[in-house]
Structure 1
Amino acid sequence: MAGPLRRDPAFRSLFAARTISFLGDSLSLVALMLHVAETAGQALAVALLLLVGDLAPALFSPLAGAIADRWDRRRVMIGCELVQAGLLVAIALALPPLPLLLVLAGARAVSGQVFLPASRAAVATLVPQREQAAANSALGLATNGGEAAGPLVAAALFPLVGVRGVLLVDAATFLLSALLLLRLPALPPSGPAGGRNGLLDDARAGLGYLWREPALRIIGLGFCVVVAFNGIDDVALVVLARDTFDAGSSAAAVLLAAVGLGLFAGYALLARWSSRAALPWLLVAGFAVSSVGNLLTGLAWAVGMAFALQAVRGLGIAAMDVATNTLLPRLAPDALLGRVFGNLYGAIGLAAGLSYVGGGLLLDATSAPVTFIVAGVGGTLATVAVAVALPRALRRRQP
């Protein structure tokens, strides 16, 4: 992890900007959830806020990726951070009624969705290929740390400055991120695919490319199926702790923390060792560990065992993330890389939404252990399919 951070000032700036940006995302989410819960007084209102934050960016992802490929990625990232800062200032000053608040929150989330493919593609430009796995591991560790610290920072600030103050602090984090991004070199479009056609044509071309390329299609479908089965795990963990183990809310919080601890450990290990791993097999291993971890959680008989299994599962999620972010730049040309990232992670967001709906229905109809077993079995079957199909597709790509 220290290698690219120590040797590359541009990557250090991107690293710091993304860490601060993710911290800001978490701050504003907590602040808005608490504000909506207090003013609207309905769980549905909070659910709508979360849905807007997840669904709107996912639906916009083809255009988000096209924007990342069409213009200078440095300028795109700076523009996104400034837009998010402006929207948060507007929300903080007005604290508008729920319908307008949802519109503004959705616009902020879409701006963040444009930022992500541009920043992921920028890593492939700024960092030598041999160090990209370590760089992506460092980013994963830092951004997850920012997301984890956000609620704690919000909790400390709330008694002092209230909702408006927390939102204004969040706006300041995006301004600071934009200032850090000014230190990056220009990252202009790399070829004709960067924007000779209209934006919608570019978005369609990106979707078509992701589907036509067998290796990318296998990775995308496999990732989405694994997430569609396993995305319900957070909700199921709460039910597992309370209903199955009869252990209460504290045990539920401990189980929810397990994956985060596994993620931190996974990113730290991968920062040191991922350069030695074969990326396709690292991806498959991540799919397998994350899926089998849920399968075995369904068979666990105590909170301690479930905690250990979910911590191991966090290692798998870290492997999935690092392998994907490092492998895609080797499979797609730079001129299409923003669209590949944008479309893939947009589809993953939709798969997570499907998991919340389908998994929630299964959880209500059966039990938490059954839900974990079904999730684990489905994800494991998808992993086996990827393990068989991906090596063949990669061999066919070789000259």
Structure 2
Amino acid sequence: MSSFQLFRENPAFRRYWTARSVSLVGDGVATVALLLLITGSGAGATGVAALLLAQAVPRFFGPIAGALPDRFEVKRLLLLAEVGQGLAFIAIALVPSNTALLVPLVALSSALATVFNAAGRTVMPRIVEEPQLMPANAWMGTAFNLQAALGPVLGGTVAALLDARGALLINAVSFFVGAALLLGLPKMEPVAASGGDRPGFLAGIGAGIAFTWKHRTARAIFLLLLFGIMFASLDNIVLVLLSRDVLDGGPFGFGLLGTGSGAAMVAASLWLTRPTAKVSAVTLLAGGWILAGVGLLLTGAAPVLAVAVITQAVMGVGNSIALIGEETLLQKAVPADMLGRVGGSFSSAAFAGSALAYGIGGFVAASISPRTSLFIAGTGLIVITLLCLPALRAGGRTDVNAPEDGPAVDAAASPTA
């Protein structure tokens, strides 16, 4: 099957990918517009921090959002979350630029995005056959990377032409376009309702957390995300300092470093859409994180800006393929009725890791040089990956549809298109 045959022969995947691409690029536009709106209102650093916190805090509730696909029809959840975000951004664009008004609306949008992401984790195994999960996830990775590559540029351009509120309204429209495309998806009933007694909502959340911890592969991915992203996110803090204070790149140099990483992420995900890219999910996940760690180490040692751009591209390639490997291994390793809840736990782990980095990283960056900070980040990322690798490999070799001490789950029970 060619890279594009998946689009030609699977209309459900084509609709889902297009919907996500439109919405994600719109999110990239909105990120820039929100920052311009809040800073233009005179709120200062406190307002920016409050806005970023409003975006981040709902991500902690991933396990709660992850229990929803087990109780409600998934397509309906996706539509409600998409339309809800569109309405929230219309309100954000129309209300006065007041922190007290913007923060709860931004938090509402982030909560709806958390619901969409949790429900979306269950979609791919339903609409794509198992042999096509890797290229399908690579295409979804490309959609995500386009957000980073195109969103900020488009956001700045649109905000300059229409002002920040106009850019926010365009983002709202992107959600409605996405919802219209999602209408063409097949109905996706909650898997947990297909057999046996379903636990209560709170019990289901607890069961998802317990499953994540008892399942060897899921636990390894959770820990890798928590501590791996903690180390990797130090790059976000010190890279601007490396450009300004060490490499004499200034703001333009910092932009080049981001461009090198973002372009490499898009290229890596596109490469994995090829039918000849036969690499296991475990290899992608572990190898990607190790490659990202090497990129951080090399960036810390880069003698000039041009070399740092290349090493950041190495980091971007590793980051991109690790995310695709993580998503594919999750879909193959976890039974269908646990995908949403385990995926929600993963999302919370990723956020907690970045929060730890941002909480600790400021003190680290203030006390040691940017190069040393990057050496710590790269070394820590490689070490935590190697520590988790045995559990990941065991998951790749065995029947990973079962927790360590629990019964196997019949793979045939997992719905596919």
Please state which band the TM-score falls in when normalised by the shorter chain: over 0.9
Rounded to whole Å, the distance in 1 between the matches of 2:23 and 2:201 is 26
Q: 2:32 is aligned with what amino acid?
A: V
SS at match of 2:301: coil
Q: 2:171 is aligned with what amino acid?
A: D
Which residue does the alignment assign to 2:190? 189
Which residue does the alignment assign to 1:135? 136
- Long gaps (5+) in structure 2: 401-407, 409-417
Which residue does the alignment assign to 1:75? 76
Larger mean CA deviation between 201-210 and 370-379 belongs to: 201-210
Whether 1:61 and 2:62 are equivalent positions in the alignment is: yes
Q: 1:146 to 1:246 in 2, by over 3 A?
A: closer
Alpha carbons 2:292, 2:319 under 8 Å: kept: yes
Deviations 1:152-178 (CA, angstroms, capped at 9, x unpaired): 222232244323322222111111111
Q: 2:63 is aligned with what amino acid?
A: P
SS at match of 1:184: coil
- For residue 322 of structure 1, the aligned residue among 324, 334, 342 is 324
Rounded to whole Å, the distance in 2 between the matches of 1:392 and 1:120 is 23
Counting only pairs closer than 5 Å after superposition, residues 67-146 of structure 1 correspond to structure 2 as 67-95=68-96, 97-146=98-147
Q: 1:51 is aligned with what amino acid?
A: L
**CA positional deviation for 1:371:** 0.3
Q: 2:280 is aligned with what amino acid?
A: A
Which residue does the alignment assign to 1:203? 205
Deviations 1:208-250 (CA, angstroms, capped at 9, x unpaired): 1101101110111022211111112122111111101122221
SS at match of 2:303: coil
**CA positional deviation for 1:262:** 1.3
TM-score (norm 1): 0.95
Q: 1:163 is aligned with what amino acid?
A: A
Root-mean-square deviation (CA), in Å? 1.9
**CA positional deviation for 1:394:** 4.7
Q: 1:323 to 1:193 in 2, by over 3 A?
A: farther
**CA positional deviation for 1:17:** 0.7
Rounded to whole Å, the distance in 2 between the matches of 1:16 and 1:107 is 24
- Long gaps (5+) in structure 1: none
- For residue 381 of structure 1, the aligned residue among 357, 380, 383 is 383
Alpha carbons 1:251, 1:303 under 8 Å: kept: yes
SS at match of 1:191: helix
Which residue does the alignment assign to 2:404? none
Rounded to whole Å, the distance in 2 between the matches of 1:204 and 1:299 is 45
Q: 1:36 to 1:315 in 2, by over 3 A?
A: same
Rounded to whole Å, the distance in 2 between the matches of 1:224 and 1:356 is 13
Whether 1:352 and 2:354 are equivalent positions in the alignment is: yes
Rounded to whole Å, the distance in 1 between the matches of 2:373 and 2:148 is 27
Alpha carbons 2:30, 2:168 under 8 Å: kept: yes
Rounded to whole Å, the distance in 2 between the matches of 1:388 and 1:366 is 33
Alpha carbons 2:225, 2:349 under 8 Å: kept: no
**CA positional deviation for 1:191:** 2.5
Alpha carbons 2:59, 2:110 under 8 Å: kept: no
Larger mean CA deviation between 177-186 and 193-202 belongs to: 193-202
Q: 1:85 to 1:236 in 2, by over 3 A?
A: same
Larger mean CA deviation between 158-167 and 197-206 belongs to: 158-167
Alpha carbons 2:217, 2:395 under 8 Å: kept: yes
SS at match of 1:40: coil
- For residue 265 of structure 1, the aligned residue among 267, 273, 283 is 267
Rounded to whole Å, the distance in 2 between the matches of 1:130 and 1:275 is 12
Counting only pairs closer than 5 Å after superposition, residues 303-322 of structure 1 correspond to structure 2 as 303-322=305-324
- For residue 49 of structure 1, the aligned residue among 48, 51, 61 is 51
**CA positional deviation for 1:277:** 0.9
TM-score (norm 2): 0.91
Rounded to whole Å, the distance in 2 between the matches of 1:239 and 1:174 is 36
- For residue 16 of structure 2, the aligned residue among 14, 17, 22 is 14
Q: 2:237 is aligned with what amino acid?
A: V
The count of residues paired between Structure 1 and Structure 2 equals 398
- Greater fraction helix: 1
SS at match of 2:274: helix
Q: 1:299 to 1:128 in 2, by over 3 A?
A: same
Rounded to whole Å, the distance in 2 between the matches of 1:293 and 1:82 is 39
Deviations 1:301-326 (CA, angstroms, capped at 9, x unpaired): 11122111110111111111111111
Larger mean CA deviation between 110-119 and 269-278 belongs to: 269-278
Counting only pairs closer than 5 Å after superposition, residues 21-32 of structure 1 correspond to structure 2 as 21-32=23-34
Q: 1:383 is aligned with what amino acid?
A: T
Identity of aligned residues (%): 32
SS at match of 2:191: coil
Alpha carbons 1:82, 1:174 under 8 Å: kept: yes
**CA positional deviation for 1:151:** 2.3
Rounded to whole Å, the distance in 2 between the matches of 1:324 and 1:274 is 20
Rounded to whole Å, the distance in 2 between the matches of 1:344 and 1:397 is 21
Rounded to whole Å, the distance in 2 between the matches of 1:151 and 1:395 is 41
Q: 1:176 to 1:381 in 2, by over 3 A?
A: same
Rounded to whole Å, the distance in 1 between the matches of 2:8 and 2:106 is 36
Rounded to whole Å, the distance in 2 between the matches of 1:198 and 1:23 is 37
Q: 1:295 to 1:248 in 2, by over 3 A?
A: same
SS at match of 1:187: coil
Larger mean CA deviation between 225-234 and 150-159 belongs to: 150-159
